[in-house]
């Protein structure tokens, strides 16, 4: 007898588009977290280092913050951007 979860997995196949989106998010997540291992950075600093758009970095940073991977620190000298850092690094 099959487990319920196995039956559901057989019936509900994940589309290739969704799989690609998940892979892209996970890759970007790893790049952002790796960037922050060196120390706190602002959104433009991360975007420049990873070579990605500020909008994409902002969205993904907010997702990482929501799930407790990172936290916001102090504002930069221009009071324009927050510095972000890994949650477990002080």
For the stretch 27-75, pLDDT in tens is: 999 999 999 999 999 999 999 999 999 999 999 999 999 999 999 999 9
Per-residue buried b or exposed e for 14-51, using 16+ beta carbons within 10 Å of the residue's own CB: eeeeeeeeeeeeeebbebbeebbeeebbbbebbbebbe
How far apart are the C-alpha atoms of 12 and 5, rounded to whole Å? 10
- Answer whether CATH 1.10.10.10 is correct for domain 4-86: yes
State the residue for tokens 């969205």. 59
Q: What are phi and psi of 72, to 5 degrees?
A: -85, 145
* Vertex 60: Cα angle to 55 and 64 (nearest 5): 150
Whole-structure pTM over 0.75, yes or no?
yes
User: Domain residues of the chain, as ranges?
Assistant: 4-86
Range with the lowest mean pLDDT among 9-13, 15-19, 66-70, 83-87?
9-13
Query: Is the pLDDT assigned to residue 18 strictly greater than 70?
Result: yes
Query: Is the pLDDT assigned to residue 6 strictly greater than 60?
Result: yes
């Amino acid at each position: 007898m099959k487990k319920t979860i196995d039956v559901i997995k057989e019936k509900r196949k994940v589309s290739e588009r969704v799989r690609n989106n998940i892979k892209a998010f996970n890759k970007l997540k790893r790049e952002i977290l790796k960037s922050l291992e060196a120390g706190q950075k602002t959104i433009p600093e991360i975007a420049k280092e990873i070579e990605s758009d500020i909008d994409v970095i902002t969205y993904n940073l907010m997702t990482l913050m929501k799930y407790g991977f990172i936290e916001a620190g102090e504002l930069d000298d221009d009071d324009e951007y927050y510095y972000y850092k890994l949650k477990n690094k002080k």
